[in-house]
Amino acid sequence: MTAAPARDDGIGGEGGIVLTADAIARAVSGELIGDGAVEVRGVAPLERATSTDLSYLAAARHAPALAASRAAVVLVSPELASVEGADVRARVIVADPQAAMATLLPQFARTGVPHSGIHATASIGKGVKLGRGVSIGAYVVIGDDVVVGEGAIVGAHCVIASGVQIGDETRLYPHVTVYSGAVLGRAVTVHSGARIASDGFGYIFRSGRHEKIPHVGGCVIGDHVEIGANSTIDRGSLGDTVIGAGTKIDNLVHIAHNCRVGKNCLFAAQVGLAGSVVVEDGVALGGQAGVGDHRTIGAGARIAGRAGVIGDVPAGETWSGYPARPHRAALQAQAALFRLPPLLKRLERLLGTEGTSG
């Protein structure tokens, strides 16, 4: 991994960092074995690490990869401290190598911070308030009366409608659209192509056609929320669509009008919430899961990938399948289903039926 300069247009770049084994050991409160002066400039998995990379050994089964590794520095757990790497020049012993790596990674991050300042090509409306240290990228379009907080980064090509509020330290990657009615909190991250506060999907069938119900509600995104690439969050019809602080949303997720999502939830990719769903705090939704309109998912519940929720889920439970049920019941039903065909054949013979399908 080559260290490239950190400057970019609101989208990435590497850190250009150089760390010694000594500095690493200090940063993670680990014990250093080997040459503390060895320098690393990047990170990589054991198999692909080179002589300027830091890596880590998470589990005993990967010990052979360490033995063959060319990494310069490796984080290892006390149990595996005796495994030596081919060209490894320093080891740092810590209780949880993976967590230690997570602590160090920000220093190697690709997402370099762009220069602060307003690009000459940005189009800024009337009455816009820009906080200190903001970075507004190339070809950004900002409507009237928008507020952008201190240190916020608006990536190239973002379009922000009139009246939108964006909190301090919030970062929009390129190509984000924020419709009118959105209020983004502090330290929010929105990835490329996400659409915030778009029109909800609501119509009244009158005189032989679907007549649009204008959506005049808002879309409130809490502090530290992260929204993935190409996800869509509609604004409310009358009230607001709300995403609670600390909730993390993956790519291609859809959240419909009037949903109220709690704090610290995790939504994996391609999840969909229909209108007016309530998701309480700390809920995890697996990939491609869907929730029917007006349902409630209780605090701390876990919904498996691809589950289709059409009822309310009590707090703390794990549900799966379609229609989603408590996970244990769903597993039993699925297992029974696959034991069924041969049994059914014998049974029909026994009962003298002939597949009297409903």
Q: Which residues are known to be catalytic? A: 257
Binding positions for a second copy, 56-95, rule CB under 8 A: none
Question: Of the candidates 12, 36, 133, 314, which one interacts with a second copy according to CB under 8 A?
Answer: 12
Question: Of the candidates 118, 147, 299, 306, which one interacts with a second copy according to CB under 8 A?
Answer: 306
Question: Of the candidates 201, 315, 317, 318, which one interacts with a second copy according to CB under 8 A?
Answer: 201
- What is the C-alpha to C-alpha distance for residues 268 and 317, in angstroms, rounded to an integer? 18
Shortest distance, CB of residue 161 to a second copy, whole angstroms?
4
User: What tokens does 77 get?
Assistant: 């757990």
Burial 47-70 (b: 16+ CB within 10 A, else e): eebbebbbbbbeeeebbebbeebb
Shortest distance, CB of residue 135 to a second copy, whole angstroms?
13
**Cβ-based nearer residue to a second copy, 82 or 349:** 349
- What is the C-alpha to C-alpha distance for residues 273 and 259, in angstroms, rounded to an integer? 8
Binding region for a second copy (CB under 8 A) out of 59-67, 77-85, 86-94, 154-162: 154-162
CA atoms within 13 A on the CB side of 16: 9
Question: Of the candidates 145, 147, 299, 317, which one interacts with a second copy according to CB under 8 A?
Answer: 145
**Cβ-based nearer residue to a second copy, 186 or 195:** 195
**Cβ-based nearer residue to a second copy, 16 or 78:** 16
Question: Of the candidates 66, 80, 88, 108, which one interacts with a second copy according to CB under 8 A?
Answer: 108
Binding positions for a second copy, 256-275, rule CB under 8 A: 256, 264, 266, 268-270, 272, 274
Binding positions for a second copy, 232-251, rule CB under 8 A: 232, 234-235, 238-239, 246, 248, 250-251
Work out whether 224 is an interface residue with a second copy (CB under 8 A).
yes
User: What tokens does 253 get?
Assistant: 């997720």
Work out whether 128 is an interface residue with a second copy (CB under 8 A).
no
Work out whether 106 is an interface residue with a second copy (CB under 8 A).
yes
Binding positions for a second copy, 338-357, rule CB under 8 A: 338-344, 346-348, 350-351, 353, 355-357
**Cβ-based nearer residue to a second copy, 132 or 358:** 358
- What is the C-alpha to C-alpha distance for residues 29 and 172, in angstroms, rounded to an integer? 34
**Cβ-based nearer residue to a second copy, 132 or 296:** 296
Shortest distance, CB of residue 197 to a second copy, whole angstroms?
8
Question: Of the candidates 89, 91, 186, 191, which one interacts with a second copy according to CB under 8 A?
Answer: 191
Question: Of the candidates 34, 91, 135, 173, which one interacts with a second copy according to CB under 8 A?
Answer: 173
Three-state secondary structure readout of the chain: CCCCCCCCCCCCCCCCCCEEHHHHHHHCCCEEEECCCCEECEECCCCCCCCCEEEECCCHHHHHHHHCCCCCEEEECHHHCCCCCCCCCEEEECCCHHHHHHHHHHHHCCCCCCCCEECCCCEECCCCEECCCCEECCCCEECCCCEECCCCEECCCCEECCCCEECCCCEECCCCEECCCEEECCCCEECCCCEEEECCCCEEEECCEEEECCCCCCEEECCCCEECCCCEEECCCCCCEEECCCCEECCCCEECCCCEECCCCEECCCCEECCCCEECCCCEECCCCEECCCCEECCCCEECCCCEECCCECCCCEEECCCCEEHHHHHHHHHHHHHHHHHHHHHHHHHCCCCCCC
Question: Of the candidates 52, 55, 77, 170, which one interacts with a second copy according to CB under 8 A?
Answer: 55
Work out whether 26 is an interface residue with a second copy (CB under 8 A).
no
Work out whether 133 is an interface residue with a second copy (CB under 8 A).
no
Shortest distance, CB of residue 271 to a second copy, whole angstroms?
9
**Cβ-based nearer residue to a second copy, 168 or 234:** 234
Work out whether 317 is an interface residue with a second copy (CB under 8 A).
no
Work out whether 228 is an interface residue with a second copy (CB under 8 A).
yes
**Cβ-based nearer residue to a second copy, 37 or 294:** 294
